[in-house]
A and B are shown apart, each in its own frame.
Chain A
């Protein structure tokens, strides 16, 4: 299963590196969202600084939707899904691999967004480890939930409109706890921030487990 996951993740990342869709579309989109938030909230630095953690995570959520759509679009080519199934790769491995590939893209998005809120919104993170831990756990949860729902809506003609409706409410807990943890990391309130990891952790674990268990039946569907 783990070897299969590595293979699938490697394949997805290689496709991304060659096609550059993530590089030229998802990353600029994330930055664009930040700039648009700046327009919406006005130039006052105080409001921006307070809202920055929430805006950061909202931008991450939107990028997750794009990245999962992209991850499924890779498999939508003629016979690609059948090829993947025929290759004898464990469905759980496919799930983990695709989730890992999405997670790597999300890490890239988050590095850029983190730099973005520091530069554009003048945010100074005080407790780095808290922000990092929240990001890592949230990334795992987001990519697992995203890939699971991506597979669910793969092959549907209406997937572009359906996927956000399905994914965004599911990942609402990540938005809540991620922004709270980051707010705490910015203000240095470690204790209250660390408690939010107790939601991010189980979220990631639950969606990884559900994905490993249910990806098989889903793959047969399309």
Chain B
């Protein structure tokens, strides 16, 4: 990642912190308690923005990048990493949506959980994308994993409207009108509306920042995998090429396998986007030339 990208990340992060802090300040101290729900309504400055990020931003980015990866013209591991990062952040935000909703529901509805359409479909969505993350953790060749994960993300994404629809019916046909979210019917006071709007901005910025950072981690870990392979390869070559030196004077320091700690990365596909820097190869040249 370029230096420019890093400074962008830093700026996004800083503004995310500032807007979040402002939302907290406005939400907890400045805005008055709501008429019906009292101070409970303050959770609504956070809960809808989190849900917005999870359902639309994160999984939208994931689906889009999966399509772009699968389409042969735009195929690049960039999309794979971006999609994976988006899903991971999205799963965190979906879980937060459920947790904050639950916290709000307990005092408002009297229960932590109720089988309304919204809740049920969100929970299913969480499980769907947890499956994606489980699939992603299975060790495989990067290209193979990318393709597999892109298909899985798309299939899960296609399922989202069907799940929503079916759960919606399932709930409305059989338990008509048990719970209507009273938060949505609140008249929103001017300042409260502003705070909520700020909440949306803050959470979106947090999402973008997390996405950027997560992408960087993903890219770096791929690069480390490649470079470590390169290092160990060059070590082996060095072993082969150096003539057998009379080693009497040098005490045998390291037995040859310094690579034991590195996770076994699949040997075949060198990722075209990350050129191996020659610096890295010199880092771990075995000192005595080995055996």
Residues of chain A at the chain B interface (Cβ within 8 Å): 145, 148-149, 152-153, 156-158, 162, 165-166, 169-170, 172-173, 176-177, 180, 192, 195-196, 199, 202-203, 206, 210, 214, 217-218, 220-222
Contact = CB atoms under 8 A, between A and B. Distances in A.
Contacts of B279: none
Given A176-B167, A210-B154, A218 B147 contact: yes
Contacts of B167: 173, 176
Given A152-B148, A158-B138, A199-B162, A180 B155 contact: no
B134 A165 contact: yes
Nearest to A170: B159
A165 B135 CA distance: 10
B134 A162 contact: yes
A173 B173 contact: no
Contact of B70 (A172, A192, A217): A217
B35 to A, nearest CB: 38
Q: Which 10 A-B pairs have the closest CB atoms?
A: A173-B166, A169-B127, A166-B131, A169-B128, A176-B170, A176-B166, A165-B131, A199-B166, A173-B162, A221-B144
Given A148-B155, A218-B147, A162 B135 contact: yes
Nearest to B127: A169
Interface of B: 70, 124, 127-128, 130-131, 134-135, 138, 140, 144, 147-148, 151-152, 154-156, 158-159, 162-163, 165-167, 169-170, 173-174
Contacts of B173: 180, 192, 195
A173 B163 contact: yes
B182 to A, nearest CB: 26
Given A173-B162, A173-B165, A199-B166, 10 more contacts: A148-B151, A152-B151, A152-B152, A153-B135, A166-B131, A173-B166, A199-B169, A214-B151, A218-B151, A220-B147
Nearest to B174: A180
29 contacts: A149-B155, A152-B135, A152-B155, A153-B135, A162-B134, A165-B130, A169-B131, A170-B128, A170-B156, A172-B124, A172-B163, A172-B166, A173-B166, A173-B167, A176-B169, A177-B170, A180-B170, A196-B169, A199-B166, A202-B162, A206-B158, A210-B158, A214-B151, A214-B154, A217-B70, A217-B151, A220-B147, A221-B148, A222-B144
A152 B136 CA distance: 11
Contacts of A157: 138
B162 A221 contact: no
A166 B170 contact: no
Contacts of A158: 138
A157 B169 CA distance: 38
Contacts of A220: 147
A156 B138 contact: yes
Q: Which of A169, A176, A217 has the most CB of B within 10 A?
A: A169
A153 B140 CA distance: 11
